[in-house]
Amino acid sequence: MNSPNHRLDALRGGVAPVDHNARTIAALAGNPGCDRRAVLDAAGIHKQSIAVHLGHPAPFGQSPFALDRARAFEELVKADGCAHLVRLLRETLGLSVPEVAYTDIADVGGNTAHQLRHTRTLAELRRAAEDGERSGTLFDHPLLKLPVAGHEVYLEPSVIAFQIRGRFHIVEIKSFAVIDGTADSGQVAAASRLSAVYVYALKALFRAEGIDPDRVSHEVVLVCPKDFANHPTATLLDVRQQLASLNRQLSRLTRIDRILDHLPPELTFSLEQSPAELARAIRTVEARYAPECLSACEMAYFCRADARVCGSVDVLGRATRDELGGLESIDAVLDLTAGDRLTSPEQAEIADQLRYVRAVYREHASAGAEAVA
Amino acid sequence: MVFIPLKLAGEAAAPLGAMVGTDPAEPHLLVVPQPRNRDLRFAFMSELAQIMLPYIEGFATAKETVSGRNERERYLDAPQVIVPGRRGVEFVRLLGRSTRFRRSDGPYPVDPSVPVLGQWLTFLYERGELAGSSALLAMTDALSLHWATGQSPMEDANLATLLAWISPPPGLTGQEAAAAAENPIDRPPAGPDTDPGFDAQVLQPAIRAYDASGSPALVRQALRTQLEPTWRLMWEAVDLMRALPEAASVAERWAIDRDQYTREVTRLAEGGPPRGRRDQAGPAAIRLWDMEGAQQSYDAQRAYDDPLVMTEHRAAGKAFTGEAVHVDADRKILLPGGKKPVPRPLVTVRTSDPVRLTPGKRVFSVHRRRQSGEIVEIDGDLIVVQLNDQLAKGAGVPTPGDAVCFTELDLGGRIRPGFPTGEETPWTHGGPPAAYVPTDEDAVEAWS
Residues A165-193 have pLDDT tens digits of 777 888 888 888 888 778 888 888 888 88
Of A175, A228, A292, the CB nearest to B447: A228
Residue B435's pLDDT is 67
Q: How far is A44 from chain B (nearest CA, A)?
A: 26
Of B13, B152, B175, the CB nearest to A291: B152
Residue of chain A nearest B34, judged by CA positions = A65
Chain A residue numbers with beta carbons less than 8 Å from the beta carbon of B314 are: 360
Q: Is B106 exposed, middle or buried (0-12, 13-18, 19+ CB in 10 A)?
A: exposed
Cα–Cα distance between A309 and A303 in angstroms, integer? Answer: 10
Interchain pair B155, A291: CB under 8 A = yes
Of B184, B199, B445, the CB nearest to A64: B199
Q: Which of B342, B340, B363 is nearest to B409 (CA)?
A: B363
Phi, psi dihedral angles at A91 (to 5 degrees): -80, -55
Residue B140's pLDDT is 93
Chain A (232-271) residues lying within 8 Å, Cβ to Cβ, of chain B: none
A356 Cβ under 8 Å from any chain B Cβ:
yes
Chosen for mutation from A31, A62, A63, A303 (greatest number of chain B CBs closer than 10 Å) is: A63
Write the DSSP assignment of A318-354 as a string of letters.
Answer: HHHHHHTTT--BHHHHHHHHHT-SPPPGGGHHHHHHH
Interchain pair A63, B194: CB under 8 A = yes
Residue of chain A nearest B185, judged by CA positions = A59
Interchain pair A357, B446: CB under 8 A = no
Chain A (33-72) residues lying within 8 Å, Cβ to Cβ, of chain B: 59, 61-70
A313 Cβ under 8 Å from any chain B Cβ:
no
Chosen for mutation from B102, B144, B152 (greatest number of chain A CBs closer than 10 Å) is: B152
Residue A373's pLDDT is 43
Of B194, B315, B446, the CB nearest to A356: B315
pLDDT tens readout for residues A328-353: 888 888 888 887 666 777 777 788 88
What are B286's strand-pairing partners?
A: none
Phi, psi dihedral angles at B382 (to 5 degrees): -105, 130
Q: How far is B410 from chain A (nearest CA, A)?
A: 22
Residue of chain B nearest A224, judged by CA positions = B12
Residue A4's pLDDT is 65
Interchain pair B445, A229: CB under 8 A = yes
Q: State the average pLDDT over residues A104-117.
A: 72
Interface of B with A (CB under 8 A): 8-13, 35, 94, 97-98, 150-155, 175, 182, 184, 194-197, 199-200, 203-204, 277-278, 307-308, 311, 314-315, 353-354, 445-448
Lowest mean pLDDT among A154-168, A203-217, A320-334, B54-68: A154-168
Taking the CA atoms of chain A, what radius of gyration do you get in angstroms?
Answer: 25
Which are the contacts of B179, defined by CB distance < 8 A and separation ≥ 6? none
Neighbour count for residue B250 (Cβ, 10 Å): 14
Chosen for mutation from A360, A361, A370, A372 (greatest number of chain B CBs closer than 10 Å) is: A360
Q: Which of B124, B112, B44, B118 is nearest to B81 (CA)?
A: B124
Element spanning B126, H or E: helix B113-128
A205: amino acid identity, one letter = L
Higher pLDDT among residues A367 and B21, named by residue: B21
Lowest mean pLDDT among A3-12, A148-157, B46-55, B124-133: A148-157
pLDDT lower than 50: segments of chain B: none
Of B10, B152, B446, the CB nearest to A228: B446
A310 Cβ under 8 Å from any chain B Cβ:
no
Which are the contacts of A98, defined by CB distance < 8 A and separation ≥ 6? A135, A136
Q: What per-residue string of b and e applies to B113-152 under the rule 16 or more CB within 10 Å gives b?
A: bbbbbbbbbbbbbbbbebbbbbbbbbbbebbbeebebebb
Count of CB pairs separated by less than 8 Å, A with B: 102
Lowest mean pLDDT among A100-109, A112-121, B1-10, B325-334: A100-109
Q: How far is A70 from chain B (nearest CA, A)?
A: 7
Interchain pair B10, A70: CB under 8 A = yes
Residue of chain B nearest A290, judged by CA positions = B152
Helix (H, G, I), strand (E, B) or coil at A151: strand
Chain A residue numbers with beta carbons less than 8 Å from the beta carbon of B151 are: 291, 315-316
Q: Write the ipTM.
A: 0.80
A239 with A169: CB under 8 angstroms? no
Interchain pair A181, B278: CB under 8 A = yes
Interchain pair B445, A319: CB under 8 A = no
pLDDT tens readout for residues A31-86: 777 888 878 887 778 888 888 888 888 777 788 888 888 888 888 888 877 778 88
Residue B236's pLDDT is 93
Residue B394's pLDDT is 62
What are A235's strand-pairing partners?
A: A222
Residue A254's pLDDT is 59
A319 Cβ under 8 Å from any chain B Cβ:
yes
Chain A (90-129) residues lying within 8 Å, Cβ to Cβ, of chain B: none
Q: How far is A284 from chain B (nearest CA, A)?
A: 25
Q: How far is A63 from chain B (nearest CA, A)?
A: 4
B420: amino acid identity, one letter = P
